[in-house]
Amino acid sequence: MDNTLNKLEQKLNLNFTDKKLLRMAFIHRSYLNEHSDEKSPHNERLEFLGDAVLGLIVSEHLYKKYPRHPEGDLTNFRSSLVNARMLSKAASVLELGAYLYLSRGEEATGGRQRQYILANTFEALIGAIYLDLGSQKVTDFVKKNLLIYLPEIIEKKLYKDYKSLLQEKSQEVLNVTPLYRVLEETGPDHAKMFKTAVFLGKKRAAVGAGNSKQLAEQEAAKIALENWS
């Protein structure tokens, strides 16, 4: 493993037994296209595992921390914390983009700052920590680097379902139900980006973007509510 990742270990106060596993967490699919001699696979399998591990850690924390909140609140709290925006924010704070193995093309187009790549890398790192260092270490990592944002999310009510709020308001004021339409899909299948418009009657109220249709719709609804006031 190169010295750069050694520095990351020191920065995160982690000591991997399997250094190759840590390296794998930072190998983007594009890197392999230009490095046929690379023996390590890309990080998408680790990302898959990390997503599940993260969901469990956050769910258990919410269950224990907020015993008086119903399931619906806990679901909204979790969704607001484990989405691409928040995961990429946590990854940016840790400067994970600096450690990525990318193709020249991905590098040139700003891949080290791209939201979905950073979010996926954060999840891949969680998967690697879990496999190599165990459940307690990965739980400590998530608490220190992601769950710290939860109090602000709850205090500022950033967990609200904007689609539901927009529907309530539009039906009450305009007697119409919001309709969502995908305007554009870009990117490869494993990293799609969606641009979605929300319509109130015949009027296009707002446009949102995200790495899933659901996130793009939520962003469009949020902007529509902001424009309303």
**Model confidence pLDDT, tens digit, residues 207-221:** 999 888 888 998 999
The tokens of 111 are what?
Answer: 């891949």
Residue 57 to residue 41: CA distance in whole angstroms: 26
pLDDT at 1 over 60: no
Q: Are residues 117 and 187 in the same domain?
A: no
Q: Answer with the residue of higher pLDDT: 199 or 191.
A: 199
Mean of pLDDT over the chain: 92
pLDDT at 58: 98
Range of the domain at 23: 3-155
Q: Answer with the residue of higher pLDDT: 72 or 198.
A: 198
Among residues 123, 132, 217, 219, the one annotated as catalytic is 123
**123 a catalytic residue:** yes
Percent of the chain topping pLDDT 70 = 98
CATH number at residue 198: 3.30.160.20
Q: Are residues 85 and 100 in the same domain?
A: yes
**Model confidence pLDDT, tens digit, residues 2-61:** 668 999 999 999 999 999 999 999 999 999 989 988 889 999 999 999 999 999 999 999
Region of 45 please: left (phi>0), alpha (psi -120 to 50) or beta: alpha
Among residues 51, 106, 217, 219, the one annotated as catalytic is 51
CATH number at residue 120: 1.10.1520.10
- Burial (CB < 10 A; 0-12, 13-18, 19+), residue 17, is exposed
**152 a catalytic residue:** no
